[in-house]
Amino acid sequence: MESETARRIHSDDRDASSSAGPRFQGRPIDISSPTPDTSSETFNDVAHELPTVPSYLKTAAIAVVAAGTGLAVGFWLGGRRPRPQPMPFSLANADFSDFAKLAPEAAHLLKNPVVRAFAARAIARQVSRYLAA
């Protein structure tokens, strides 16, 4: 059972909502206030409601922009250096001691039948090119 006070409050709410109209529930619109003429006046009116950005966020943003700019300039300048050319291989620079040092590794590789087949095919190709020329 509702009390008299609760009934009065609910009836006041129903009367206020019916007088405000179906579109605008709640506070009535104040038509007497002047409308600002320019957007700068509008901005000044609501500028106090905009959130302020803390100074450490501004500093962090500036640091990120500076780091990005530094990376971009670094990659741009780093790509300008000429690439070192690899030295061509020649047997003229090698001597018998170099081949002797590689003999144990070659023997270990030749234990594998796939490596043996590949080496035999490569040697046969070189011999056929030499004989054809």
Which residue shows structure tokens 């579109």? Answer: 23
Instruction: Check if the beta carbon of residue 100 is closer than 8 Å to that of residue 106.
Output: no
Residue 7 confidence class, pLDDT cut points 50, 70, 90: low
Do the beta carbons of residue 45 and residue 39 sit within 8 Å? no
- C-alpha to C-alpha distance for 5 and 9, rounded to whole angstroms: 6
In sequence order, the 6+-apart residues with CB closer than 8 A to the CB of 42 are 36
As a whole number of angstroms, the distance between CA 109 and CA 122 comes to 15
The DSSP secondary structure of 30-48, one letter per residue, reads --SSPPPSSHHHHHHHHGG
Tens digit of each residue's pLDDT (9 = 90 or more) over 55-102 = 888 899 999 999 999 999 988 887 777 778 887 777 777 788 888 999
Amino acid at 6: A
Angstrom distances, CA of residue 127 to CA of 14, 59, 106: 106, 70, 20
Specify the pLDDT at position 62.
Answer: 93
**Is this model's pTM higher than 0.85 or not?**
no
- List the domain boundaries for the chain: 100-132
Is residue 110 a contact partner of residue 119, using CB atoms and an 8 Å limit?
yes
Degrees to nearest 5, angle at CA 126 with 121 and 131: 125
- Residue-wise pLDDT for 22-53, tens only, equals 555 566 666 665 555 555 566 666 666 666 66
Q: Largest Cα–Cα distance of the chain, in whole Å? A: 119
